[in-house]
Structure 1
């Protein structure tokens, strides 16, 4: 079964840093490229693994879907997040694996520029003709004369409008959601939203509309309504999202928008990792690094990019559908049911139902991507599915460490403390506890929840309780590290004590 069986596989995994990584040895092309990058860059393996899977997802998502044993056909797009601080070589890792895609895209964009120059001349000429007809219609209308002939000419002109050549644009880096979705509508409907410094994406507008991010991950059509321009619909689009962010940036995002993003199911769709740092162990050798396996990896990426380019030029929308063989299908069903059983009260996924409900979907996508990228024939085999399970289990463990019960408590502390910061920044030091119950964030207006979070903040030295003489109410010192509370209580006149909200 999913969790029990995989705990028995740990002896087959390699230990790098503090993390146990699943073996990918049965995928020689991918495994060799990751190992080579690990040796040469000496970055955390989780970052390298994410970058490699990002590249594979980007090049395959537009030409391959996966049919699950329950009959549903799903995209193969992945969403990935790696949390790592400055100095972990995030940009270097990303560039190694995405460089072939960027080079291929640049070459195609250069070629289409020539076509766009020709189009621009034709379009300007067409606009001159169109404006001339519109002026003729306006002139007759001003005199109350019919303009039937001119309207026929205008209709014919509209049908002759030159079509702007589309770009084979695959990667969008630190893009807003508006630019991303419109670019996918105007050009290639398959894309990767990439950022090695993902704070700009998280803090920007790319994740403003979480429902659209979730819908496009599921392969659903989305409609983009715009106030100042024509609205449009994205049909059959595929999007890979890959972010690398610093711990502080991610914590800040979760404090402000964590509840909303978790509630929407966004993070449940992500393969998330927070690998141990390799800083302090990255020693330099005397020989120049070799990139033989990375060259082979790049060649494989280019093979699928060429296939995607052919589909793009021929306007081919249908994708190859990858299936599971009979043995793999049986295992898939067992794993799906086992995961479901772990979501119940007391199970390892208790409180993480959003994550559990997406796990088998993620496993299916990983299996299809690994199968196709390595060039395996026929349907997805049981061994490939098992490797995908191992990989998904590793990411699931990372998710549980990040969002499990202990993490939930940490998120609650951060969220409430962030709200209290709004008073600290205005110079207010004291607040009545009941004020939080009345006006604080919604989840903390329940006394039992608030009590637990406040006690944890007290234990961490972020706040302190006290009573004002002659007053039964409980007050909170927002800056206990400043000291002097007893003195202020003894001479509250002339202090800002009574200026705090709720007091």
Structure 2
């Protein structure tokens, strides 16, 4: 596990416009770490859409749109502020469902009392007729009809969950097509609450199992059909280390971690300067509107008893691209390959990319089948997380120049590109930047030059400049005016 190496900027540029604009607006107004914000958006998209959308992979399997995510961030990174801001429509949806349940349970209790009174009266009549030797066929028919009309107790449905044992998870998912999410900006609640002790159940739910069962000690069985579960939590580094020390082998060995998008973004503390107290919100409300549309439609389907989901498909021209990606991944699994030590995540990466592509398709309101462009956008996002998975879980030591290159790239992005500068004077970067001495800076620059992300220019006085590749840095997100 390496927390000393900083990741590159989160690929906001891979999002479609309605998502990208909202994410960058949150970034500008909160100045929280970019990946923390990007992953929060991915999570709420998953929660909003998983209830009534699935995706058919190019290989034919149908999979949920559920995503698992883990953000590693220290106290003070504005985890709570970002979560409450972005996820607000989900909490509002839950509040609305609870109020609806409270109204329904009052009506149910009234109707149930009436039903019981009528039932008791019919049974008294039956007893009397039996004692008198009178015909009871008509009364039995009335009893049968009355039994069939017994009021059904409403169910308290809400999406957000935190503290859950296996019993609580299964009870929440009982029935057909339930959709829940374990989300917390304080991951200790999820970890200590018991949800992560049930990795087998969570893995099956993530995979899209058609049925899960739990046999209770009282002889009653809980049957869950076609559940959808999103798991997302934010933890501090020490909490994650303790979790890995205690249960890391089990969670990695069971394949649970392989089902996660993981990120440990660079801290922004110390650079979050305030210039305006009033924040403008033009784009986030549009994203929230789309969330509400999806959640409301899910609520209507639940109320109507419709459990069947809409299955999204990929266009035919995605197939060659999918084959190319699958073969490239297979090559990277060889002993000398980049993914050799993270085979578990590599085995899920394409499927996760398909889920992300479907979410991008849904939230950008595209019609028809999922396009190659949307898949490529999803690949860019998942690739960022693949590097993070390797950085956090791989035992392999990253060469110093590669580590320095990642730190330097992030510094150039935040301090130059996001402030509308397309170049940086090398001496200033050496003096004020994160990589010293000059030999290490040169090695890091050589790595970035080899990847086509920067080039070196020479001024009239022989001073050297680091030119930022606009095609690459622009794909990470628009310039930000703090």
Give the TM bin, normalised by the shorter chain.
0.7 to 0.9
Q: Deviations over 1:30-67 (max 9, x none)?
A: 00111011111111111111111111111111121111
In structure 2, the residue matched to 1:111 is 100
After the TM superposition, which residues 12-91 of structure 1 pair with which residues of structure 2 at under 5 Å, given as runs?
Answer: 18-24=7-13, 27-91=16-80
In the TM superposition, residue 325 of structure 1 has moved relative to its aligned partner by 1.4
Select 1:405's aligned residue among 395, 411, 429: 395
In structure 1, the residue matched to 2:280 is 290
CA contact (8 A) 1:42 1:278 kept: yes
Q: Deviations over 1:288-333 (max 9, x none)?
A: 1111111111101111112212221222222221111122221012
Select 1:255's aligned residue among 245, 251, 259: 245
Q: Deviations over 1:412-471 (max 9, x none)?
A: xxxxxxxxxxxxxxxxxxxxxxxxxxxxxxxxxxxxxxxxxxxxxxxxxxxxxxxxxxxx
In structure 2, the residue matched to 1:200 is 189
In structure 2, the residue matched to 1:225 is 215
In the TM superposition, residue 91 of structure 1 has moved relative to its aligned partner by 1.0
- How has the CA–CA distance of structure 1 residues 26 and 173 changed in structure 2, closer, same or farther, with 3 Å as cutoff? closer
In structure 1, the residue matched to 2:318 is 328
In structure 2, the residue matched to 1:343 is 333
In structure 2, the residue matched to 1:431 is none
- TM-score, normalization: structure 1? 0.71
In the TM superposition, residue 115 of structure 1 has moved relative to its aligned partner by 1.6
CA contact (8 A) 1:67 1:73 kept: yes
Q: Deviations over 1:172-202 (max 9, x none)?
A: 2344443233123269701111111111211
In structure 2, the residue matched to 1:362 is 352
Q: Give secondary structure in 1 for the equivalent of 2:158.
A: coil
Q: Deviations over 1:203-240 (max 9, x none)?
A: 23112221110000011021122224722111111111
- How has the CA–CA distance of structure 1 residues 136 and 398 changed in structure 2, closer, same or farther, with 3 Å as cutoff? farther
Quote the Cα distance in structure 1 between the aligned partners of 2:239 and 2:144: 54
Whether 1:183 and 2:172 are equivalent positions in the alignment is: yes
Aligned residue-pair number: 387
CA contact (8 A) 1:168 1:188 kept: no
Q: Give secondary structure in 1 for the equivalent of 2:261.
A: strand
In structure 2, the residue matched to 1:98 is 87
CA contact (8 A) 1:166 1:187 kept: no
Q: CA RMSD in A?
A: 2.9
CA contact (8 A) 2:56 2:312 kept: yes
Q: Give secondary structure in 2 for the equivalent of 1:272.
A: strand
Structure 1 spans left out of the alignment, 5+ residues: 1-16, 139-146, 409-503
Structure 2 spans left out of the alignment, 5+ residues: 1-5, 128-135, 399-482
In the TM superposition, residue 149 of structure 1 has moved relative to its aligned partner by 11
Q: Deviations over 1:53-106 (max 9, x none)?
A: 111111111121111111111111111110111111111111111101211221
Quote the Cα distance in structure 2 between the aligned partners of 1:133 and 1:245: 60
Whether 1:171 and 2:160 are equivalent positions in the alignment is: yes
Q: Give secondary structure in 2 for the equivalent of 1:280.
A: coil
Quote the Cα distance in structure 1 between the aligned partners of 2:142 and 2:226: 35
- TM-score, normalization: structure 2? 0.74
After the TM superposition, which residues 309-458 of structure 1 pair with which residues of structure 2 at under 5 Å, given as runs?
Answer: 309-406=299-396
